[in-house]
Amino acid sequence: MEPVYRGLGRCVCCFWLAVAFDIVGLLVLLIGVFVNVFFYDLLIYAGAIVIFLSLIWWVFWYSGNIEVPPAELEDDVGLLKKDKGALSGIGGAVRRLSSRVSSGIRTSLRRNGAPSGTLADRTRRSAGGPPVVEQVSVAMATMTPQEDTPHSTVSSVASCDVEMPHTTTETSPT
């Protein structure tokens, strides 16, 4: 036999915590507004924050008192009626299809690792092969300025021609 809840419902503790937070927050807020102290702004903000935090307890109390009849929970938590069978009709076919698709996606993600966000990676994965990793080599060299006039240098990096301007640094006497 289920207990009968009256008045405040099942989550009485959350209700009283919400009321206590509201009362304390309102008192702190009103003290900050009406009492002449040098830290009144701290009291006003603290009271408002405590009242805001009471919303958490109100949501817990409200959501804890929502009653859903077991007939409506059938599809949500897997409680299927005995006389209907586990999978029947169009609903059963849709449920089987959904289960197959989601399990296929899960096994694909486990096999290939987490999908990356680039379009090229997605097209490589959809082609059926493993993801291709490209390496980019970067050549760096220390250069000394040979003349004060700016000129362009052409360097070959990974079979690409990139023009980079030559720059010089001027120092002022101190």
**Phi/psi zone of residue 78: left (φ > 0), alpha (ψ -120 to 50 degrees), beta?**
left
State the DSSP code for 128. T
The pTM of the full predicted model, rounded to 2 decimals, is 0.44
Long-range Cβ pairs for the range 68-76 (8 Å, 24+):
none
Query: Cβ-count burial of 57 within 10 angstroms (0-12 exposed, 13-18 middle, 19+ buried)?
Result: buried
172 Cα distance to chain centroid = 52
- 167 contact partners, CB below 8 Å, separation of at least 6: 150
HSE (side-chain half, CA atoms, 13 Å) at 59: 5
State the DSSP code for 156. E
| 100, 106, 109, 111 alpha-carbon torsion, rounded to 10° | -80
Question: Which pair of structure tokens corresponds to residue 115?
Answer: 């999908």
Written as tens digits, the pLDDT of the chain (174 aa) is 677 777 888 889 999 999 999 999 999 999 999 999 999 999 999 999 999 999 999 999 999 998 877 777 776 666 565 555 545 678 778 888 888 888 888 888 777 765 555 555 555 555 555 656 667 777 777 777 666 555 555 544 556 666 666 776 777 776
- 14 contact partners, CB below 8 Å, separation of at least 6: 57, 58, 60, 61, 64
Question: Which pair of structure tokens corresponds to residue 15?
Answer: 């209700």
